[in-house]
Amino acid sequence: MRRLRRTSQIREMVQEHRLDRSDLIWPLFVIDGVNQKQDIASMPGVSRLTVDLAVDAAKKALDLGIPAIALFPKTEDSLKTELGEEAINPNNLICKTVKAVKKACPEIAILCDVALDPYTSHGHDGVLDKTGYVENDRTVEMLVAQSKTLADAGCDIIAPSDMMDGRIGAIRKMLEDNSYHNMLIMAYAAKYASSFYGPFRDAVGAGKKLGGDGKQTYQLNPANSDEAIREIQADIAEGADMVMVKPGMPYLDIIRRCKDELGYPCFAYQVSGEYAMLMAAFEQGWLSEEQTVMEVMMCFKRAGASGILTYFAPYVAARL
């Protein structure tokens, strides 16, 4: 067996999986203002960017061969409400960013998150009833309106991350009814109630007031994999073009099952907690940065991921 590992040329010849810049999606955090960058303490090397700097980042992505960016807002607290109405404001921060990026570099694909947590005062992904439970159908109505707002702004991929039942079918119907026949939906189909989201919630200023069960009444139980496959199957049946597993590395088995059992485009989100752990180890000198990052990316590909949402996207693209 070792004959096939003897030299780098031979190892390259027989390599089973390959990583390409086209596999990458770069998540960006956006804030109001002009020419401002806010560092995120829990995510070293990642900053919130004003719209003009987000445009510069999109240009950088194109220069590096990264085909898509994903946008997430840090909404001002004064704009947050119980129902999250800012999500459906056609002049909200994300809509302004989409329009500015598309004007400057129309070739880049823009993925827009669909969920209410950046816009609600309570930090949940949906509308609460009097007991604090997230109401499924009222939330879906808001998500459909949010999706239309983002489609009207000019995004390329609608990415519902809320985990409400039936929202993919409702969003697809709205898109068809409004002649958005070619709008892509990437469903966060298997989003787990994970402990790895903390730095992201710092970045967007959401989810810090959650109590009780937190988001466990709508996000998946980390103990379950069959349930994840049922969720993915449901989203595909309702009209999703692509699906996502989140978090990434701790859930490689779910990516593999999706690939083997469903044969559908499945993306991995290397979430903020994964990024933060690696960066902490790099800063301490405990792990080799380039070797580790590239190994982790290859692990996603080996597991069957069609692509990877990662904060390391520009770092990886530059080395490819």
Quote the CA–CA distance of 167 and 160 in Å, as a whole number: 8
Radius of gyration of the chain (CA): 19
pLDDT-derived band at 204 (thresholds 50, 70, 90) equals confident
Statement: residue 207 has pLDDT above 90: no
pLDDT at 211: 64
pLDDT-derived band at 202 (thresholds 50, 70, 90) equals confident
- The catalytically annotated residue of 74, 148, 191, 301 is 191
pLDDT-derived band at 201 (thresholds 50, 70, 90) equals confident
pLDDT at 263: 95
pLDDT at 209: 60
Catalogue the long-range contacts made by 281-289 (C-beta closer than 8 Å, 24 or more residues apart): 283/44
Q: pLDDT digit string (tens) for 28-61?
A: 999 999 999 999 999 999 999 999 999 999 999 9
CATH of the domain spanning 19-319: 3.20.20.70
Token pair of 84 as six digits: 């999250």
Task: Based on the residue annotation, tell me whether 215 is a catalytic residue of this protein.
Answer: no
pLDDT at 210: 66
CB 116 within 8 A of CB 84: yes
- The catalytically annotated residue of 102, 148, 215, 246 is 246
Distance from chain centroid for Cα 42: 18
Residue 31, SS3 per DSSP:
strand
Bridge-partner residues for 128, per DSSP?
Answer: 134
- b (16+ CB within 10 A) / e for 281-292: ebeeeebeeeee
For the chain, the structural domain boundaries read 19-319
**What mean pLDDT is reported for the chain?**
95
Task: Based on the residue annotation, tell me whether 191 is a catalytic residue of this protein.
Answer: yes
Statement: residue 208 has pLDDT above 70: no
Range of weakest confidence among 57-71, 102-116, 193-207, 252-266: 193-207
Residue 106, SS3 per DSSP:
coil
Give mean pLDDT, residues 73-99.
96
- b (16+ CB within 10 A) / e for 84-99: bbbbbeeebbbbbbbb
**In sequence order, what E strands does 129-209 have?**
134-135, 157-160, 184-191
Q: What is the helix (H) or strand (E) element at residue 114, kind and residue range? A: strand 109-114
pLDDT at 28: 98
Statement: residue 212 has pLDDT above 80: no
